[in-house]
């Protein structure tokens, strides 16, 4: 009777934990993303700590502050040069909005099958988009708050990561702790390789976009190229957003430039998906292209952009654990069976 009672209590306890996790899933995702980035940028912190000026070596706290200050300084310098012309042109564009809308409607009518497009409906949708700017800024404010929270959590994970790691391992039986610790360390190494591979893909798209946008004479081609490279950290969704933003800027000049942007991204996606990405991911993460696609689909459907962002390193983590606890266990069982026979 006591066993049945404890089983029932355990069952409802598990349900309560699952319900709580589902209710705070956004917070848990933010914590997971912060822990992931703490793992992958820890080598950069270690590189700063290895610097030596005379007899002085920087501590861990100084290395973290120095790294984040360098990132903030680079972003501030870029914004100082890139933002003023964009702001000036955006202000001028807002003042000339009716003329630009009329010109865009005329260009659409000149396109094949353009006469079938309802220009009045497009104006209505454009007005709704402009009217929804307040909601956009609210979402942007929420995103900035989440970004700062993620940065703060990442710093704390870097500072106290070893203690958190030891605490997590200590929750398991003593006999399993050495094996689990070794598995987690291999997972950490593979997830860092993901950052290297993803950085290569981001740099490749950014440099190719820079050349293509410069050739097309797009406005703010350097800003658009940098956005395309940074957005590529989120596979599939990132390049799509880069196409949308670049095509919107190109549409202010001519439909030919829009066609050029779409053609460039179409060719590049084929090159990246068929040649570049499989080789980079196979050499860094040791994951097949099919596993990457499945991970992206599951992550995007479960948690949107954040889910797509962490889906590939999570797949690498799962692959390491599956190799250690499923494949090795199965091979050991098969070996024992063959010896017994």
- Check pLDDT > 60 for residue 335: no
24-34 average pLDDT score:
81
**The pLDDT value given to residue 329:** 60
Query: What is the number of alpha carbons within 13 Å of residue 41 lying toward its C-beta?
Result: 20
The answer to whether the CB of 323 falls within 8 A of the CB of 185 is no
242-267 average pLDDT score:
86
pLDDT range class, residue 135, cuts 50, 70, 90: very low
254-277 average pLDDT score:
85
209-237 average pLDDT score:
84
**The pLDDT value given to residue 136:** 40
- Check pLDDT > 50 for residue 140: no
CA distance 77 to 261: 27
Q: Mind listing the pLDDT tens digit for each residue in 271-324?
A: 887 777 777 777 776 777 677 778 877 877 777 777 777 787 888 888 888 888
**The pLDDT value given to residue 106:** 63
What pTM was computed for the model?
0.65
Residue 64, C-beta contacts closer than 8 angstroms, at least 6 positions apart: 45, 155, 158, 159
- Check pLDDT > 90 for residue 263: yes
39-56 average pLDDT score:
78
pLDDT range class, residue 134, cuts 50, 70, 90: very low
The answer to whether the CB of 309 falls within 8 A of the CB of 233 is yes
Taking the alpha carbons of 288, 317, 185, 330 in that order, is the dihedral positive or negative? negative
- Highest mean pLDDT pick, 62-66, 98-102, 263-267, 304-308: 263-267
DSSP secondary structure, 126-150, as one string: HHHHHHTHHHHHHHHHHHHHHHHHH
Q: Where are the domains of the chain?
A: 177-341
Higher pLDDT, 188 or 209: 209
- Element spanning 87, H or E: helix 60-95
CA distance 268 to 276: 10
184-192 average pLDDT score:
81
């Amino acid at each position: 009777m006591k066993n049945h009672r404890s089983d029932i209590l355990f069952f409802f306890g598990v349900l309560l934990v699952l319900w709580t996790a589902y209710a705070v899933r956004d917070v848990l995702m933010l914590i997971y993303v912060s822990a992931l980035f703490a793992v992958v940028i820890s080598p950069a912190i270690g590189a700063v700590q290895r610097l030596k000026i005379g007899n002085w070596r920087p501590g861990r706290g100084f290395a973290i502050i120095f790294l984040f200050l360098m990132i903030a300084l680079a972003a501030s310098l870029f914004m100082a040069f890139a933002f003023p012309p964009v702001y000036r042109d955006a202000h001028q564009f807002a003042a000339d909005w009716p003329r630009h809308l009329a010109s865009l409607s005329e260009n659409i009518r000149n396109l094949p099958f353009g006469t079938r497009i309802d220009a009045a409906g497009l104006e209505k949708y454009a007005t709704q988009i402009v009217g929804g700017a307040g909601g956009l800024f609210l979402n942007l404010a929420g995103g900035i708050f989440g970004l700062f929270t993620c940065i703060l959590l990442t710093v704390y994970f870097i500072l106290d990561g070893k203690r958190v790691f030891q605490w997590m391992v200590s929750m398991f039986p003593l006999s399993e702790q050495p094996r689990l610790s070794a598995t987690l360390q291999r997972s950490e190494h593979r997830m860092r390789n993901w950052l290297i591979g993803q950085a290569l893909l981001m740099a490749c798209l950014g440099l190719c976009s820079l050349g293509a946008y410069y050739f097309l004479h797009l406005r703010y081609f350097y800003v658009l190229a940098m956005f395309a490279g940074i957005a590529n950290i989120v596979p599939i969704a990132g390049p799509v957003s880069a196409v949308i933003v670049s095509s919107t800027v190109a549409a202010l000049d001519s439909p030919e430039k829009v066609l050029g942007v779409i053609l460039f991204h179409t060719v590049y996606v084929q090159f990246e998906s068929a040649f570049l990405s499989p080789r980079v991911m196979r050499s860094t993460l040791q994951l097949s292209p099919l596993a990457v696609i499945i991970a992206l689909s599951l992550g995007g459907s479960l948690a949107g952009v954040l889910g797509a962002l962490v889906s590939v390193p999570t797949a690498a983590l799962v692959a390491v654990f599956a190799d250690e606890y499923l494949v090795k266990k199965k091979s050991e069982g098969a070996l024992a069976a063959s010896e017994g026979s």
